[in-house]
């Protein structure tokens, strides 16, 4: 009898992206993807000379490198950025000032608005970050993050529901033709913009493979996808529609 393949563990939906910054001979950064069910990573980056030895121009390019590292995650709907760095390496304050000056799009209310949190810890391995998960302040931060994000998203969601420039679908089958059109470079179809769903919908969807294929295709095409815990205000609102709501931007302003 052949050896059975180990079933991969579920990673859940994306919750945050973390950057661990520390110094060896040079400045190093590690990117972690934090999902609801597990932490995934890591990608390592060599950022060059030590921070304290850098001039203002070098620090500017250093911060821009960090932005470029996290940009794909933020574009895909991750709302929280966590910085890990030792207390004696003061990165978070000047980095926040850089973001506020050069990247206001990260703070405007909407689909790319982020929450920034700093933990003064040296994180280098997956074991380090798993230990951090047991800390009360870390658990408290994530509980507050999920609740605040859901409350903020609810206002944005209601604006979309009342926006005449969007068509609204409640099944993947309804929206699928528009997603397929986007794969054709000659297509003039307007894009799908947002997909909101609950964690319960993802867990109990009967056509899970179809759902996963749809969401992966949508993600590859740049559609904004966000999952909410079912017991949050946003999750409760989505549950009124079956747990899934898809917004399609239309060129017709007279949508009912």
Cα–Cα distance list, 31 to 145, 188, 189 (Å):
20, 37, 35
Please give the tally of structural domains in the chain: 2
- Shortest CA distance to 243 belongs to which of 210, 207, 209, 195? 195
Report pLDDT digits (tens) over 134-181: 777 777 777 777 777 777 778 889 999 999 989 999 999 999 888 766
What is the C-alpha to C-alpha distance for residues 189 and 181, in angstroms, rounded to an integer?
A: 6
CATH number, residue 126: 3.30.420.60
Give me 143's structure tokens. 């509980």
Judged against a pLDDT cut of 60, whether residue 255 lies above it is answered with: no
Q: Give the pLDDT confidence score for residue 251 in this predicted structure.
A: 60
Decide if 31 is inside a domain. yes
* Domain carrying residue 48: 14-134
Residue 108 and residue 29 share a domain:
yes
Q: For all residues of the chain together, what is the average pLDDT?
A: 81
Give me 176's structure tokens. 């699928």
Q: Give the pLDDT confidence score for residue 171 in this predicted structure.
A: 94
Report pLDDT digits (tens) over 6-48: 444 566 667 788 888 888 778 888 888 887 667 777 688 887 7
Cα–Cα distance list, 149 to 6, 36, 218 (Å):
35, 14, 22
Instruction: Identify the residue whose tokens are 């978070």.
Output: 92
Decide if 177 is inside a domain. yes
Please check whether residue 53 is in contact with residue 242, taking contact to mean a CB–CB distance below 8 angstroms: no
Decide if 164 is inside a domain. yes
Residue 162 and residue 130 share a domain:
no
Give me 5's structure tokens. 């393949």
DSSP 8-state symbol, 123: -
What DSSP assignment string belongs to 140-158? HHHHHHHHHHHHHHHHHHH
Cα–Cα distance list, 100 to 59, 84, 104, 106, 113 (Å):
15, 19, 5, 8, 12
Among 82, 107, 134, the domain-final residue is 134
Report pLDDT digits (tens) over 44-96: 888 777 787 788 888 898 899 999 988 888 877 777 888 888 888 888 889 99
Judged against a pLDDT cut of 70, whether residue 187 lies above it is answered with: no
Q: No. of H helices and E strands in the chain?
A: 8, 9
Decide if 98 is inside a domain. yes
Q: Give the pLDDT confidence score for residue 185 in this predicted structure.
A: 58
Among 68, 99, 134, the domain-final residue is 134
Decide if 236 is inside a domain. yes
Please check whether residue 46 is in contact with residue 22, taking contact to mean a CB–CB distance below 8 angstroms: no
Q: How many CB atoms lie within 10 A of CB 134?
A: 8
Report pLDDT digits (tens) over 204-249: 999 999 999 999 888 888 788 888 888 888 899 999 999 999 999 8
**Three-state SS at 29:** strand
């Amino acid at each position: 009898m052949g050896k059975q393949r180990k079933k991969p563990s579920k990673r859940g939906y994306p919750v945050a992206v973390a950057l661990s910054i520390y110094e060896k001979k040079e400045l190093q950064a590690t990117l972690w993807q934090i999902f609801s069910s597990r932490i995934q990573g890591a990608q390592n980056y060599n950022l060059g000379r030590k921070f304290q030895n850098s001039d203002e121009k070098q620090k500017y390019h250093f911060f821009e490198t960090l932005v470029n590292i996290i940009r794909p995650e933020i574009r895909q709907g991750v709302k929280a950025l966590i910085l890990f760095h030792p207390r004696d390496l003061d990165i978070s304050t000047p980095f926040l000032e850089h973001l506020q000056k050069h990247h206001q799009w990260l703070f405007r209310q909407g689909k790319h608005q982020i929450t920034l949190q700093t933990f003064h810890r040296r994180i280098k391995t997956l074991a380090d970050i798993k230990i951090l998960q047991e800390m009360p302040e870390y658990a408290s931060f994530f509980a507050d993050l999920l609740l605040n994000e859901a409350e903020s998203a609810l206002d944005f969601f209601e604006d979309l529901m009342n926006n005449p420039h969007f068509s609204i679908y409640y099944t993947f089958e309804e929206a699928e033709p528009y997603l397929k059109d986007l794969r054709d470079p000659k297509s003039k179809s307007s894009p799908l913009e947002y997909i909101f769903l609950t964690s319960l919908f993802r867990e109990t969807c009967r056509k899970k493979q179809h759902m996963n294929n749809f969401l992966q295709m949508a993600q590859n095409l740049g559609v904004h996808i966000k999952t909410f815990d079912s017991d949050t205000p946003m999750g409760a609102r989505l549950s009124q529609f079956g747990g899934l709501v898809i917004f399609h931007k239309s060129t017709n302003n007279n949508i009912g």
